[in-house]
Structure formats: C-alpha cells, structure tokens
Amino acid sequence: MKIGKSIGLAGVFTALVVLVLVWTLQTMCLEQGTLVVLSLTLIAVIWYTYFTHQLAVKREPLAVAASIRYDRQSKEVLIIARNPTNCYLGTRLWVEVEVYGQKTDLGDDYTGKTVWHLTPYFEIKGHFSLEQPLKQVGKTFSDMVSEANGENQTRQLRLFLRVAWEDEGGKQGAYPAPHRWYFDFRRNEFVYQVGPF
C-alpha cells in the first residue's frame, strides 16, 4: 500500500512540475506547437502514473490453503496452513475435536486466539497428539478401536477446521464453512466428510 501512495504522490508532483513549465513557457510567448507537445507530454505522464499506481495497488485474491495430515505411527495430527499469495497474512485457526459429541480443548493455538504469521508462499505446521483429546474425555486409542463399528464410526471422533486471514492492509477473508473429518478407528485414518453429519 505504501508503494502505491508514493507512486501516486510522485505522479502528482510530476504533473505539477510539468504544469508550471507549460505555464512558464506559454507566458514566454512560445509557439503554439511547443505548447501542444508539452500538453501531450503532461497527459502521457499523468496517464502513465495513474496506471502504474493501479498496478501497484492491485492484489491477488487472498486465500489460505488449510489441511490436515495424520501420522499413523506417532498418532500426531498435523494442521497445515499455506499462503499461496504474494501478501503477508495473519492467520487464525479454529480446530475443534469432538469425541462422541463432547468438545475438547486443544489450547490457544487452535481456538483463534493465536495469530499465525504467514509470509508469501510459505506454510506453517501445527500439531497435536490424537491421544490428547481422547484423554480429556477419559478414553484411550485402544478403547476407541474396540468400540468402533459401522454405526458409530462417523461420530466417535470428529474434527472441524476453520480458517480466517487478514493481510497487512486490513483486507480479510475466511472459509464460509469448516472443513470436516471423522476418524475411522478401524482403518486408523481421517476421512474427509462432504455430506451432512
């Protein structure tokens, strides 16, 4: 944004200088042809400055790509947020994990309180152990595997991921709805859920 303002100020300054020169030359009774050339030059400078300014302030559409990965061995869930734009973004993540419908607490990093700073074309990775939310409701991974069946697999453990972002100029964005997964304890993997719960 600062670049655009400085280009705009430079254009205004250049236009004023050219206007003063044109006025000075006109008062010195120069030929009409010279006045026309200088006037056309002034128009070209203003035109160039305007479109250069428009290019400087034009931004890519803002977005953050967010996903999860699961490591079967360590039972770690990776939360990945990637900035595919050329802007600096402050990103907030909301990760909600429900075990049999009971909400669990993963800390400030995943409740939208922490701002994750994403530089252009960079990604950040947060993580938590799958055992952490299970412990909060008095369950273990083994308990969940033994309780798993076809009827409850989509309700045993569900994960919701919401993302919001803001660029350094104050422009904001967010996903309209959370990404949703359930954990299939029989297959030991997260399954992305498209339809209703």
Residue-wise burial string across 138-162, b where 16 or more C-beta atoms lie within 10 A, e elsewhere: ebebeebeeebeeeebbebbbbbbb
Note down pLDDT in tens along the chain; length 197 residues: 455 555 566 667 776 776 676 666 666 555 666 767 777 788 888 888 887 777 666 666 678 888 999 999 999 999 999 998 888 899 999 999 999 999 999 988 999 999 999 998 899 999 999 999 999 999 999 999 999 988 888 899 999 999 999 988 788 888 888 899 999 999 999 999 886 65
The pair of three-digit structure tokens given for residue 35, joined into one six-digit string: 């006045």
CATH number of 65-192: 2.60.40.10
- Sign of the dihedral defined by the CA atoms of residues 58, 63, 64, 67, in that order: negative
What is the value of pTM for the model shown? 0.68
* CA-closest candidate to residue 188, choices 149, 141, 139: 141
